[in-house]
Amino acid sequence: NKRSSILLSNSEHNGLSNVRVSPDSRHIHIILQKPEVGLVTFDKFERPLPVQNQKKLDLIRGAAVAAVVYENGKAEFWRFQDCKVGWHLLQTSDLCNSPQAKVVSVCASSHLLIWCEERPPSESSSASPPLRNNLRFCVCRRDYEVEEGAVILGGVKITLHSSPKFAVLCSGECVHLLPDVEAKTQSSISKFLFTWSPHRDTFTVNTTCNNTPVKLVSARESDFKRLVTDCVGYLSILEPPEIQSFAPTGCGGLLLLLSTGWICLLQKDGILRRVYKLAENCFIQHRGPTSLCIFKDTLALIIEEKLYLIDLNCGRELEKIVQTPHLLSESGLFMAVNKETECKDCSSKRKLSGSSAVNRAHSGALLVEAVFEEACKYYQQRSLSSTQLTVEALKKGGRFQAPISLASILRNYLSSTSDKLMCSLESELRALVSLEEVKGCLVKGGAKEVESMCYTLVEKEVARLLSISDLDKDSLSYLNSVFSIFPCQAWKAVQVALQLHYNGEGSLSSKAPPDMWKCVLTRAGASSSPAVLPVFELLCQSVLHFQPSWLPKFLQLAQQQQGSAGLGLPLNHVPLYKRALCILSSSSPDRNQHQDIEVELLLVSGRPNAVLQALRILMGKQQWEKVMQVAQEFCKQGPLLNKEIFTTLLCEVAHHRDLDSYLDLLWALCPEDFTVTTILNLVLQNLPSPNSPAIPSSFYTSCPPQLTIGLLKPLLRKVLQRETKPSQRYADILQSPSYPPPALPRHPTDQSRDPSVPTTPPAETHAAESTHTDLQRSRGALPANPVGSA
């Protein structure tokens, strides 16, 4: 009950290029190029039921309809009918609006046809010629509906325009847009992959180097350049692995085989989950085609003529079959075989079977894999970790702890074929000998020798763990325990591993490689348990304990390394200074104990909010000289921070007289866009209210909180002189005495009762009273318009 017919001619490559199974599993479509280019279908016929109306029968069964789309935009719609024995053409339509469009990829999803087409580059575009040539594609869609004798197509709608070349792929309700790795596009552009949800009308932007989505945006924005503008700079420093092969999961997800050898599952929520890691020697040496397929919770991978069956939930390899199957479905595994080459292969296999040397080499390779695979299973069953243990990790990660047991296995299989195993075991056997030497020293040695041995072991372990760029939870927990049990030795080991050097000029330097700093700064392996600290927090805790004054310098060094190493940190990562402050606050319940270090950490961060926070702490401690030093240093960083700092200090001047000796320095920091009106408004709004409760005298160190025009006159004169249209509005202020008038008494007094009180000249008394009264009466805000336009 199977027939075949050629339906399509549009491909140029050699060999089997594409195999698809219909949703009802009754039809297998294969695009062939030899011996004749076309589409071959394998169809399962069913015996027709005795129904009088055949059209009604087709509607009840949901007869299969196939859309065959050509490169020039032509689309043929075919329907399969059992009664008419095969496929019959329903209609031919033009899919694209433009006759110059070229279809490069197409898929269908829930009454939608989605395709990526290439359009001629627009000469009117403002983009540069290379960018304009790369972004000459667009992703389009059309609604369709199948009726009795025709297919009704809706209008063309653009989902994404001015985009690079994408491969469109449907999976459940999602449509995935994958970059074309062979196209010569800009590197940053080819690092994106999109997931479009038609039902939610959203785009999810992903990369293969991030486990979480880069961004989630509304699909109403259909311009590719606008969607990725804020991400291009972030991705320009990353090198995400290329996509070697892919396959839909059918429920919205997408399987990806990456150039690193990892098989990952891109879930419909945008999370990229690692599933299985291929052996390096297997993946690097392989250059042929690969194929991925999934059925329920089982993943099938074909590479190097081997079929790998993998549990999708835990990443465990279920079985490895040496054959070339191509399809996995409910009915079983289907294998595509060339009958001509099959006979030649059988004869060659019979010839090879007589060669004992080949058999020994093959059995030796199998022995190598079998021993390490059994060791993996042994450790995985007894491990409390949820991390999947692989043969590569066992060989290179120093985790193989039973070389003696393996040696006993080899004793039964000793032959010339065991050389590969002995090479793999060489480093482990050396580690075993070294461990035995350490045991002997600990048992026989004195206190100094034991201490020296502990330091050596801790130094090696810290260096080994910090050299792991992707630290897992177990390794991070182990590193925390090392710092807890051997704090002093661990602190010395960190200085050696990071090659920390204090140059005597108030800064630290490091010659450690970028990969080690990546391990320090990222939150890899971070645990939800507060007892297990990330590496950076762990090192900050050690620095604070043994060398507290180094903590701000260590933060400064870490920030420099973070910028120079180009670490691929997530967009919502916590700044390093906040992570260091968390360690500082948790070290002592008394905040005042480390407040000087807190101020230094805030200032070293260089962030505006942190600088203002440090300034407020210094003002609260009345360290006015330090306050002015900070203000002079950070006002140079930018006009916005300059405005915030000057405003804060001017409001402080309005409250008390402790800053009188620094007023000349403060007036020099006045922003260029400040006017007299702005200054007076700030002063008036921050003057102490006469009805406010009395301020304790111990709060101020010199004078009572009283501000006069005489103190502000140098600032006001400076502001008036730089205005383009000087105003006479405040001329009377500039004519006031240059010296500040004496402070007025808080309550009226009779001077005749106290002859020691000096008599104030009437004119000066009148001027002082009028000046102070004007400030008190003018407490309401002045108009905000510039003085020059008054």
Helix residue ranges, H only, 250-337: 280-285
The confidence band for 338, taking pLDDT boundaries of 50, 70 and 90, is low
Instruction: List CB contacts of 361: < 8 A, sequence separation 6 or more.
Output: 417
Q: Long-range contacts: 575-581, Cβ < 8 Å, 24+?
A: 575/605, 575/607, 576/521, 576/536, 576/605, 577/601, 577/602, 577/604, 577/605, 577/607, 577/610, 579/534, 579/536, 579/537, 579/540, 580/536, 580/537, 580/540, 580/551, 580/554, 580/555
Lowest model confidence (mean pLDDT) among 29-38, 149-158, 516-525, 746-755: 746-755
Q: Is pLDDT of 336 > 80?
A: no
Higher pLDDT, 289 or 268: 268
Mean model confidence pLDDT for the chain: 75
**Average pLDDT for 715-726:** 77
399, part of any domain: yes
User: Measured between alpha carbons, how far is 612 from 644 in angstroms, rounded to an integer?
Assistant: 8
Residue keyed to tokens 């490895």: 320
Q: What six digits make up the tokens of 719?
A: 């502001």
Given this model, what pLDDT does residue 602 score? 95
CA-CA distances (angstroms) from residue 587 to 537, 545, 552, 596, 598? Answer: 12, 9, 15, 14, 12
| pTM higher than 0.75 | no
Nearest to residue 421, comparing CAs of 473, 364, 462?
364
Taking every pair of Cα atoms in the chain, the longest distance, rounded to a whole number of angstroms, is 133
CA-CA distances (angstroms) from residue 627 to 174, 644, 765? Answer: 57, 14, 35
368, part of any domain: yes
Q: Is pLDDT of 60 > 60?
A: no
Q: Is pLDDT of 506 > 50?
A: yes
User: Measured between alpha carbons, how far is 403 from 423 in angstroms, rounded to an integer?
Assistant: 12
User: Measured between alpha carbons, how far is 502 from 504 in angstroms, rounded to an integer?
Assistant: 6
The confidence band for 362, taking pLDDT boundaries of 50, 70 and 90, is very low
Lowest model confidence (mean pLDDT) among 362-371, 507-516, 606-615: 362-371
Lowest model confidence (mean pLDDT) among 119-128, 220-229, 262-271, 635-644: 119-128
Given this model, what pLDDT does residue 648 score? 93
Q: Long-range contacts: 688-694, Cβ < 8 Å, 24+?
A: 688/654, 688/655, 690/776
414, part of any domain: yes
Q: What six digits make up the tokens of 267?
A: 């879930």
Instruction: Rank 344-358, 621-635, 685-699 by mean pLDDT and report only the highest.
Output: 621-635
410, part of any domain: yes
User: Measured between alpha carbons, how far is 632 from 151 in angstroms, rounded to an integer?
Assistant: 74
Per DSSP, 573 falls in state P
User: Measured between alpha carbons, how far is 390 from 224 in angstroms, rounded to an integer?
Assistant: 40
Higher pLDDT, 742 or 159: 159
Domain limits at 397? 363-444
Nearest to residue 309, comparing CAs of 288, 324, 294?
294
User: Measured between alpha carbons, how far is 170 from 305 in angstroms, rounded to an integer?
Assistant: 27
Per-residue model confidence as pLDDT tens digits over 588-636: 777 778 899 999 999 999 999 999 999 999 999 999 999 999 999 999 9
Environment class of 581 (CB within 10 Å of its CB; exposed 0-12, middle 13-18, buried 19+): buried
Beta strands in 630-728 (DSSP E): none
Per-residue model confidence as pLDDT tens digits over 15-35: 334 677 777 778 888 887 666
CA-CA distances (angstroms) from residue 481 to 118, 153, 455? Answer: 58, 66, 15
Phi, psi of 92 (to 5 degrees): -125, 135
404, part of any domain: yes
Q: Is pLDDT of 94 > 60?
A: yes
Q: How many Å separate Cα 758 from the centre of its chain?
A: 73
CB atoms < 10 A from the CB of 700, how many?
15
Phi, psi of 353 (to 5 degrees): -65, -20
Q: What six digits make up the tokens of 59?
A: 């509607």
Residue keyed to tokens 């309550």: 747
Is residue 315 within 8 Å of 276, Cβ to Cβ?
Answer: yes
Q: Is pLDDT of 538 > 90?
A: yes
Q: What is the number of domains present in the chain?
A: 1
Q: Long-range contacts: 685-693, Cβ < 8 Å, 24+?
A: 685/781, 686/650, 686/651, 686/654, 686/655, 687/654, 687/775, 687/776, 687/779, 688/654, 688/655, 690/776
Nearest to residue 555, comparing CAs of 505, 504, 530, 520?
520
User: Measured between alpha carbons, how far is 543 from 540 in angstroms, rounded to an integer?
Assistant: 5
CB atoms < 10 A from the CB of 614, how many?
22
Is residue 299 within 8 Å of 313, Cβ to Cβ?
Answer: no
CA-CA distances (angstroms) from residue 13 to 33, 179, 325, 494? Answer: 7, 20, 21, 56
User: Measured between alpha carbons, how far is 737 from 637 in angstroms, rounded to an integer?
Assistant: 36
Given this model, what pLDDT does residue 288 score? 61
Per DSSP, 742 falls in state P
Given this model, what pLDDT does residue 701 score? 46
Given this model, what pLDDT does residue 702 score? 46
Q: What six digits make up the tokens of 724?
A: 């383009």
Is residue 179 within 8 Å of 151, Cβ to Cβ?
Answer: no
Given this model, what pLDDT does residue 489 score? 92
The confidence band for 186, taking pLDDT boundaries of 50, 70 and 90, is low
Beta sheet of 272-277, edge-to-edge order: 243-248, 254-258, 262-266, 272-277
User: Measured between alpha carbons, how far is 263 from 261 in angstroms, rounded to an integer?
Assistant: 7
**Average pLDDT for 66-90:** 85
Lowest model confidence (mean pLDDT) among 30-44, 98-112, 484-498, 775-789: 775-789
Q: Is pLDDT of 744 > 70?
A: no
Per-residue model confidence as pLDDT tens digits over 375-421: 777 666 666 666 677 777 766 655 555 555 555 555 555 554 456 66
The confidence band for 117, taking pLDDT boundaries of 50, 70 and 90, is very high
Is residue 294 within 8 Å of 312, Cβ to Cβ?
Answer: yes
Q: Is pLDDT of 219 > 60?
A: yes
User: Measured between alpha carbons, how far is 493 from 187 in angstroms, rounded to an integer?
Assistant: 40
The amino acid at 681: N
Q: What is the DSSP string of 48-68?
A: PP--S-HHHHHHHHT--EEEE
- Please report which helix (H) or strand (E) contains residue 713, including its range: helix 709-721
Higher pLDDT, 779 or 91: 91
Is residue 548 within 8 Å of 537, Cβ to Cβ?
Answer: no
Given this model, what pLDDT does residue 780 score? 44
268, part of any domain: no
Question: How many Cα atoms within 13 Å fall on the side-chain side of residue 12?
Answer: 1
